[in-house]
Amino acid sequence: MTKRRVVVTGLGAVTPLGNTREEFWRRLVAGESGVGPITAFDASDFATRFAAEIKDFDADALIGKREARRMDRFSQYAFVSAREAIEDAHLPQDEEFKNKVGSVLGTGIGGILTFWHNSDIAAKNGTWSKVTPFFIPMLMANASGAHISMQYGFRGPFFSAASACASANDAIITAYNYVALGDCIAMIAGGTEATISPLAVGGFSSMKALSTRNDDPARASRPFDKERDGFVLAEGAGILILEEYEHAKARGAKIYCEMLGYGQSSDAYNLVAPDPGSLGVELALKRSLEHSGIKTDDVDYINAHGTSTPQGDVAESQAIERVFGAGTRVAVSSTKSMHGHALGAAGGIEGVAIALAVERDMMPPTINYEVPDPDCTLDYVPNVARKAPVRVALSNSFGFGGHNSVLVFGKVR
């Protein structure tokens, strides 16, 4: 079967760096940090007391009070970022088109804030009778896509993908295949997450996964730096509109870039620890090149998973070096140094960043890179964005469970 070409025609973002794609991009290339003290709850007794939170997000004003209060925060983020992406793409409104539009959105956890709030209410009241009747619909991982489908009348396939921190990339891959195989004309794809709560911070803290640089939160996320000590928990959403190329061209749509392919693999090693040999990461990278029909020399930029963990950064860096060759000149940066790690939304937020990087020939930096790690020897675009051609770019996402997922984007030729 001949696969159809798939392009990106719309982008939307709600991130710790800004609640629109342009504000996000402006602050990203400026090298700003979206990390600060936690305001969502009293974190004074926690080992980690900071995160990359969304700021100035008024759900009632953005969505409407009645509808917003029937959505968990992760669905609110998805709804607002999807609306921006849909409006950006200027999608047709006829019923025939809507019948061929669907969505796959990734989320690692779903409605954990709803779970936390309602459990807290029940504990304080000594009864479960006060649980909201919307508890289950708000909790469901697929709720974010359902709200978008109902709002716009899209009747294609709508569901969620859950593969921990690889969720958004896996969602984008699934959506890509719907378009490439001709089952849909366009797909809404990406990821959304809202987990900044005592439950999540407590859980990750117990695992010793989070940075504890409480005296300097803005400099806590430092991927590939020798003094990194863990990741910074984040929240948000990133949405891409994937559309069949000939359809987009015929209607005169703006095209940011083309999705050329992908690679996926499993570590088959450990539920939470990365394989120190990074064989699964290496396999996913190789598969992404093979599936896309490109060579290592074609790739100008890699948006790394780069979470700022001691083991994970080394494993990823060394896998890239094995695939691309010792002394490779490919530029690699981790935007998580600025917007933190949004778990199941990470690949969506970074997908928006990489689409703009390809369109605008600009590589976002890895900020807080101060002390080189002898085990991480690549060009990490340290501290300052770089204006340079971006013909082809990769986006890496890896998740607990050993999920490895790599996306390939390039300029339309």
Residue 46, domain CATH: 3.40.47.10
Residue numbers annotated as active site: 165, 305, 341
Task: Determine which of 274-278, 327-331, 361-365 has the lowest per-residue pLDDT on average.
Answer: 274-278
Report how many domains make up the chain. Answer: 2
**Domain final position from 226, 250, 274:** 250
Instruction: Note whether 53 and 109 are same-domain residues.
Output: yes
DSSP 37-63: E--SS--TTSS--EEB---S--HHHHH
Question: What is residue 109's predicted lDDT score, i.e. its pLDDT?
Answer: 95
Instruction: Note whether 42 and 191 are same-domain residues.
Output: yes
125, 72 contact by CB (below 8 A): no
pTM assigned to the model: 0.97
Domain-embedded: residue 404: yes
Residue in 381, 349, 378 with CA at minimum distance from that of residue 362: 381
Mean of the pLDDT values across residues 55-71? 96
Domain-embedded: residue 256: no
Instruction: Note whether 104 and 167 are same-domain residues.
Output: yes
Cα 124 vs. chain centroid, distance in angstroms? 35
Mean of the pLDDT values across residues 178-190? 98
Domain-embedded: residue 289: yes
Question: Is the pLDDT confidence value at 126 over 90?
Answer: no
Spatial distance between the Cα atoms of 94 and 96, rounded to a whole number of angstroms: 6
Instruction: Note whether 242 and 308 are same-domain residues.
Output: no
Question: What is residue 1's predicted lDDT score, i.e. its pLDDT?
Answer: 66
Q: What percent of the chain lies above the pLDDT cut of 90?
A: 94
- Per residue in 137-165, pLDDT (tens digit) is 999 999 999 999 999 999 999 999 999 99
Please return the burial class of 132, using the count of CB atoms within 10 Å of its CB with bins 0-12, 13-18 and 19+: middle
Residue in 259, 293, 263, 265 with CA at minimum distance from that of residue 280: 265
Neighbour count for residue 363 (Cβ, 10 Å)? 27
322, 284 contact by CB (below 8 A): no
Instruction: Note whether 179 and 53 are same-domain residues.
Output: yes
Instruction: Note whether 285 and 234 are same-domain residues.
Output: no
**Domain final position from 197, 230, 250:** 250
Spatial distance between the Cα atoms of 44 and 171, rounded to a whole number of angstroms: 36
Please report, as a single letter, which amino acid is at residue 347.
Answer: G
- Per residue in 351-404, pLDDT (tens digit) is 999 999 999 999 999 999 999 999 999 999 999 999 999 999 999 999 999 999
Mean of the pLDDT values across residues 237-241? 98
- For the chain, give the number of residues: 413
Instruction: Note whether 48 and 174 are same-domain residues.
Output: yes
281, 398 contact by CB (below 8 A): yes
**Domain final position from 185, 216, 250:** 250
Reported confidence tier of residue 124, pLDDT bands at 50, 70, 90 = confident
Question: Is the pLDDT confidence value at 132 over 70?
Answer: yes
Spatial distance between the Cα atoms of 277 and 210, rounded to a whole number of angstroms: 23
Spatial distance between the Cα atoms of 204 and 209, rounded to a whole number of angstroms: 6
Instruction: Note whether 268 and 220 are same-domain residues.
Output: no
Query: What residues make up the domain containing 215?
Result: 6-250
Residue in 225, 391, 219, 380 with CA at minimum distance from that of residue 303: 380
Mean of the pLDDT values across residues 87-94? 96
